[in-house]
Amino acid sequence: MNSSPLLVAEDLSVVYSGSRGAVTAIDGLSLQIASGEFVSVIGPSGCGKSTLIKVFSGLLKPSAGKALLGGTPIDKPRGDVGIVFQQPTLLPWKTVLNNVLVPVRALKQDAGAAKEKAIALLKLVGLEKVIHSYPSELSGGMQQRVGIARGLIHDPELLLMDEPFSALDTMTRDHMSIELQRIWMATRKSALFITHSIPEAVFLSDRVVVMSAAPGKVVTEIHIDLPRPRSVETLADPKYVQYCAELRTLFEKLVHFD
């Protein structure tokens, strides 16, 4: 982690001009992600977490500041970012395999050559038995695994995940956290994981970044020093509990529940 960071955001601001005047979604945010690092961003609703994803994926130009990936500015969508959405967002008319190949075809790369890689990724996410099924035949958790495989198919430098488990039930969610850790450890991609859930963030991350609400900026960050692979036992580890408590206290101060 001594090499220069993969993702650098410096003094990033995003201002939306709406019908009721300008709204500052992100205000002077700075953030770095090292190569191979798993970083979670948590924050109250409306803190601009999803806006951050849009900036890093090149869908939205920041109003001020800059975002660099691998040293070059992100000023338009580029092929070296993978993205996993809140909803699985699969194309219901394509099989699981062809859904994973969507980025390859959109990028006009050779889908035939990528097929084996897609199958290997589906194996990695535990879906080798449903390669030729359609999304409607899969459960929510399985659909989101397809989403993760699709996010990784074009070998992105950075995987962006926008609350990918928020649509799942609690049991599936816990299981998916363990699965995601396993997948991440197998690929070692840099990951930016947006979530509402403190336990999820602590469990998965090397570092948890806390954002404040409107306008969004980084309030603090905590390094999570827990050995990997983390498992169900980790949840009972006093250090894990301590991290969660620390973040929860921080949140109480941050959000004024009124």
CA distances from 212 to 39, 45, 179, 205, 246 (A): 17, 9, 29, 19, 16
CB of 162 to other proteins, least distance (A): 9
State the amino acid at position 230 in one-letter form. Answer: R
CB of 23 to other proteins, least distance (A): 19
CB 242 within 8 A of CB 249: no
CB of 42 to other proteins, least distance (A): 21
CB of 227 to other proteins, least distance (A): 28
Q: How far apart are CA 94 and CA 159, in angstroms?
A: 23
Q: Which is nearer to other proteins, 27 or 163 (CB)?
A: 163
- List alpha helices for 125-169, DSSP H: 140-152
Q: Which is nearer to other proteins, 130 or 198 (CB)?
A: 130
CB of 114 to other proteins, least distance (A): 13
Q: E-strand spans in 21-171?
A: 21-33, 38-42, 64-69, 72-73, 81-84, 158-162
For the chain, the distance separating the N- and C-terminal CA atoms, rounded to the nearest angstrom, is 41
Q: Which is nearer to other proteins, 50 or 246 (CB)?
A: 50
CB of 166 to other proteins, least distance (A): 13
Q: How far apart are CA 158 and CA 145, in angstroms?
A: 17
Q: Which is nearer to other proteins, 141 or 215 (CB)?
A: 141
**Binding residues for other proteins, per CB under 8 A?**
57-59, 76-79, 81, 83, 85-87, 89, 91-93, 102-103, 105-108, 134-139, 141-142, 154, 172
Q: Which is nearer to other proteins, 6 or 168 (CB)?
A: 168
CB of 251 to other proteins, least distance (A): 28
Torsion from C-alpha of 193, 208, 43, 171, nearest 10 degrees: 60
- 236: Cβ contacts below 8 Å, ≥ 6 apart: none
Q: Which is nearer to other proteins, 78 or 115 (CB)?
A: 78
Q: Which is nearer to other proteins, 52 or 218 (CB)?
A: 52
Helix (H, G, I), strand (E, B) or coil at 28: strand
